[in-house]
Structure 1
Amino acid sequence: MTSNLFEELAWRGLIYDKTEGVEALLANEKVTAYIGFDPTADSLHVGSLLPILSLVRLQQFGHTPIALIGGATGMIGDPSGKSQERNLLSAEQLAANVAGIRAQLSHFIDFERKGNPAQILNNYDWLGSFNFIDFLREVGKSFTINYMMSKESVKRRINSEEGISYTEFTYMMLQSYDFFHLNKHHDCVLQMGGSDQWGNITAGTDYIRRQGGKKAYGVVSPLITNSSGAKFGKTEQGNIWLDPKRTSPYRFYQFWMNAGDDEVVHYLKVFTFLKQAEIEALAQAVQDAPAERTAQRRLAEEMTLLVHGRDELEKVQRATELVFGGRAEGLTADLLLSIEQEMPLTEIPREKFLNDGIWVAELLVSCGVTKSNGEARRLITGNGLKLNGTTLSDFKANIKLDQSVEDRYFMINKGRKHRFLVKVI
């Protein structure tokens, strides 16, 4: 069992680089630390979970976390880790994004914890009042062009074909001032972030030192990528969001279930609160019985529980059993509604299912389950199709409304891999 936050971060593989003295600081003192969140959208995504969980771990070990939302810096755009300029957001969109992120962060960190309640701050509250001349005099004077160009995030962009605008070039100064403000007014001595933030964080510690502030420190974690080296959380369907309106809990669960055997143990370390012994046991399960996907299932359960809660986890687990197992038990319209976007969906008028109903082959062809009546006959004869968990056995049968789930849905399983949904309208 780890005795302090630094040991906890280290065994989980969450230390990429650090300023001098961080290890002793986290081992011997209770500090206030912050992490910044860029409001580029009204929802955070799974890539944001690493900094979110860093705040949670801070609080668990008795430190005081600050989540800083970049209401001001979001107007500028951070060049770190970016190959091109960001599109500037309108004030209205930025305000909506800040509100959305504030609500999501409230789900994870405790603002009423006795002794070390968390805080959420918005850097627009202090940067928004700066005029250009005052900022240049008070902050810009402390940064040389040589110093700023030596930072990897700036150097990479300057050497790129896209280049870097003066707007994004100044981001380092804004973030440094954030750290200075928090150091002065909130006794914040530590900034955490991803490894792409190292240049901005050390610029902040240098600026605080020059301004005679309290000793300041920085620590960064490795950026998380998948086994192919691509950005974590990106799929063919786009980002995996924390907002269930953007990414359904079912798809969220399946994202973690699809982790590779070479990824899942690392994900368990950095994204869950499971103890070392339990993760080691799951790692052994990957070696001994990879086909059972025990580690992936535990990862998906832990992450869905954390982000969406127990009710949604149980619903997703039932949906997964039904969809992949073709089972009829527990099939409800509400459950099918939750996975409506996860499989091919065909809407068919209610009239088609009244009276004598619709011929099964016509239904299968109209939904794209089969290309022809002949293929439908072969699959039915070979017991290769299920309707709402029941094997179709009669090629001449008609499908009626009373066979549907609550007069609203039919789910068709074609073999083990293909699933189709029919919605009665």
Structure 2
Amino acid sequence: MTSYQSDLLRLLDERGYIHQTTDAEGLDALASTAIVPGYIGFDATAPSLHIGSLVQIMMLRRLQQTGHKPVVVMGGGTTRIGDPTGRDESRKMLTDEAIEANIAGIRTVFEKLLVFGDGPTDAVMVNNQDWLGQLGYIEMLQKVGTHFTVNRMLSFDSVRLRLEREQPMTFLEFNYMILQGYDFRHLSQEMGVRLQMGGSDQWGNIVNGVELGRRMDGAELFGLTTPLLTTADGGKMGKTAAGAVWLNEAQLPGYDFWQYWRNCDDRDVGRFLRLFTDLPLDEIARLEGLEGAEINAAKIMLANEVTSLVRSRDVADLAEATARETFAGGGAGEGLPTLSVGSEGMRIGAILTELRFTASNGEAKRKIGENSVRLDDQPVSDPALLVTVPAGGEVKLSLGKKKHAILTA
């Protein structure tokens, strides 16, 4: 590890957040002597972020924990464009109303993890539509466009990879990196923001903003990125066979959220504890060193700590109690996800897919063929089974040993 002087970079380094910095020495010196306002941008394409964004949210939390000011930038403007990074197709256009509703949903998670207010280190949330929406097209081209060369823009992975795969990129998307660079310049001018953070895939966009601020204003700005976050088996963080692991309760029940962390790979436990919890590093080292069946205690600690931060302590306690009753006691805890099959009933494949236990009816059929599906602990062999539940009654559905739900009429 590098020997940093500032609490900020020392904490980020110790917990594994740092991948690249534009000027580590300069940022370290600044963070040692002044409050650094730093920002991360989040586009509002859905009513919730998923856990792939959690490492960025935790970076803003670390910024505040070390005496600096987090600035959350909601991409009300850039959501209308679409970041081409890592995408093979254009993002669908959203209405103004949908974007505003998404921002309102996303804000609820930030309010749990950051302290908002008017103080020097209190977090603030701003919407880049407020300034991007005021830019005239000709004015934008004159003021900002001259600082970007098409040669360099074509060299960025977000553009180059798309072209190499012969996937179309609209001129609208091509402008995304210019607008993100302008965001940094605007925040520097209007709010004194000196630092932009993000995932490693945002490095090019962040460097653009640093250079734009220097060229237009002579400002000294800094960029910092986190490593690409993958699970030990090489999978993308936040993605499962059943879909994204959403941060908001409305998109994913608390029990399912808790179970994601409880079921993580043994090799990921220590890293996830450092990134996603506030547990002391010596305690994390102890938990990370557990072996055999004892590692499950560390996974439960991880699930409880993350769920408490993102949802609430009550949700974490209920999920742990439900898991204990379901797995150890053979019962059906009250915190299990529930699904109504209606008075007419529902096919077993549709139920498994609706609960996100499987990604498709085809996968559901395969699981049934593997004898992995049970109703009230009795195996299901018919992939076309119509499941009905008596009025006022309930049936426990299980997929393997780790996924359970309650079916009602």
Q: In the TM superposition, what is the alpha-carbon distance from 1:242 to its structure 2 partner?
A: 1.1
Q: In the TM superposition, what is the alpha-carbon distance from 1:74 to its structure 2 partner?
A: 0.4
State the AA in 2 paired with 1:369: Q
3-state DSSP of counterpart to 1:30: coil
* Paired position in structure 2 for 1:105: 110
* Paired position in structure 1 for 2:148: 143
Q: Which aligned pairs between 1:330-369 and structure 2 lie closer than 5 A?
A: 335=334, 338-341=336-339, 369=378
3-state DSSP of counterpart to 1:5: helix
State the AA in 2 paired with 1:323: T
Residue 92, structure 1, aligned to residue 97, structure 2 = yes
* Paired position in structure 2 for 1:45: 50
State the AA in 1 paired with 2:337: I
* Paired position in structure 1 for 2:135: 130
* Paired position in structure 2 for 1:71: 76
State the AA in 2 paired with 1:9: L
Query: Following the alignment from structure 1 to structure 2, what is the Cα–Cα distance between the partners of residues 171 and 371?
Result: 50
* Paired position in structure 2 for 1:294: 297
Q: Which aligned pairs between 1:19-418 and structure 2 lie closer than 5 A?
A: 19-20=22-23, 21-112=26-117, 114-285=119-290, 288-290=291-293, 292-326=295-329, 335=334, 338-341=336-339, 369-370=378-379, 408-409=393-394, 411=396
3-state DSSP of counterpart to 1:36: strand
* Counterpart contact for 1:347–1:422, Cα < 8 Å: no
Query: What's the Cα RMSD here?
Result: 2.8
3-state DSSP of counterpart to 2:152: helix
Q: In the TM superposition, what is the alpha-carbon distance from 1:137 to its structure 2 partner?
A: 1.2
Query: Following the alignment from structure 2 to structure 1, what is the Cα–Cα distance between the partners of residues 398 and 76?
Result: 48
Q: In the TM superposition, what is the alpha-carbon distance from 1:371 to its structure 2 partner?
A: 6.1
Alpha carbons of 1:24 and 1:257: their partners in 2 closer, same or farther (altered >3 Å)? same
* Counterpart contact for 1:367–1:420, Cα < 8 Å: no
Query: Following the alignment from structure 2 to structure 1, what is the Cα–Cα distance between the partners of residues 99 and 403?
Result: 41
Q: In the TM superposition, what is the alpha-carbon distance from 1:9 to its structure 2 partner?
A: 0.8
* Paired position in structure 2 for 1:381: none
What per-residue deviation string (whole Å, max 9, x for no partner) do you get for residues 127-178 of structure 1? 0011211111111122111222232322222222204221111111100110
Query: Following the alignment from structure 1 to structure 2, what is the Cα–Cα distance between the partners of residues 253 and 224?
Result: 19
Give 1:8's match in structure 2, choosing from 4, 8, 11.
11
Can you give the 5+ residue segments of structure 2 that lack an aligned partner in the other structure?
Answer: 345-373, 382-389
**Normalising to structure 1: TM-score of the pair?**
0.79
* Paired position in structure 1 for 2:351: none
3-state DSSP of counterpart to 1:293: helix
* Counterpart contact for 2:112–2:309, Cα < 8 Å: no
Of 76-85 and 5-14, more deviation after overlay is shown by: 76-85
Q: In the TM superposition, what is the alpha-carbon distance from 1:114 to its structure 2 partner?
A: 4.5
Alpha carbons of 1:308 and 1:247: their partners in 2 closer, same or farther (altered >3 Å)? same
Of 112-121 and 127-136, more deviation after overlay is shown by: 112-121
* Counterpart contact for 1:180–1:213, Cα < 8 Å: no
What per-residue deviation string (whole Å, max 9, x for no partner) do you get for residues 353-407 of structure 1? xxxxxxxxxxxx98782569xxxxxxxxxxxxxxxxxxxxxxxxxxxx9xx9xx6
* Counterpart contact for 1:71–1:122, Cα < 8 Å: yes
Query: Following the alignment from structure 1 to structure 2, what is the Cα–Cα distance between the partners of residues 98 and 173?
Result: 22
Alpha carbons of 1:367 and 1:314: their partners in 2 closer, same or farther (altered >3 Å)? closer
State the AA in 2 paired with 1:339: P
User: Who wins on radius of gyration, i.e. which is larger?
Assistant: 1
Q: In the TM superposition, what is the alpha-carbon distance from 1:418 to its structure 2 partner?
A: 8.3
3-state DSSP of counterpart to 1:281: helix
**Normalising to structure 2: TM-score of the pair?**
0.82
Of 52-61 and 289-298, more deviation after overlay is shown by: 289-298
Query: Following the alignment from structure 1 to structure 2, what is the Cα–Cα distance between the partners of residues 210 and 410?
Result: 65
What per-residue deviation string (whole Å, max 9, x for no partner) do you get for residues 8-61 of structure 1? 111211111001122333333321110000111011111111111111110111
Q: In the TM superposition, what is the alpha-carbon distance from 1:315 to its structure 2 partner?
A: 1.2
* Counterpart contact for 2:258–2:307, Cα < 8 Å: yes
State the AA in 2 paired with 1:98: I
Can you give the 5+ residue segments of structure 1 that lack an aligned partner in the other structure?
Answer: 350-364, 373-400
State the AA in 2 paired with 1:30: I
State the AA in 2 paired with 1:315: L
Q: In the TM superposition, what is the alpha-carbon distance from 1:188 to its structure 2 partner?
A: 0.4
Of 254-263 and 292-301, more deviation after overlay is shown by: 292-301
Of 274-283 and 75-84, more deviation after overlay is shown by: 75-84
* Counterpart contact for 2:397–2:404, Cα < 8 Å: yes
The number of equivalent residue pairs is 367
Alpha carbons of 1:371 and 1:274: their partners in 2 closer, same or farther (altered >3 Å)? closer
* Counterpart contact for 2:376–2:395, Cα < 8 Å: no
* Counterpart contact for 1:71–1:124, Cα < 8 Å: yes
Query: Following the alignment from structure 2 to structure 1, what is the Cα–Cα distance between the partners of residues 162 and 226?
Result: 22
3-state DSSP of counterpart to 1:33: strand
Q: In the TM superposition, what is the alpha-carbon distance from 1:307 to its structure 2 partner?
A: 1.1
* Paired position in structure 2 for 1:397: none
Query: Following the alignment from structure 2 to structure 1, what is the Cα–Cα distance between the partners of residues 405 and 276?
Result: 33
* Counterpart contact for 1:346–1:421, Cα < 8 Å: no
What per-residue deviation string (whole Å, max 9, x for no partner) do you get for residues 292-344 of structure 1? 5122111101011111111111111111111112356xx77xx25x4225xxx
Query: Following the alignment from structure 2 to structure 1, what is the Cα–Cα distance between the partners of residues 329 and 88?
Result: 45
Alpha carbons of 1:192 and 1:347: their partners in 2 closer, same or farther (altered >3 Å)? same
3-state DSSP of counterpart to 1:188: coil
* Paired position in structure 2 for 1:389: none
Of 217-226 and 158-167, more deviation after overlay is shown by: 158-167
Q: In the TM superposition, what is the alpha-carbon distance from 1:258 to its structure 2 partner?
A: 1.0
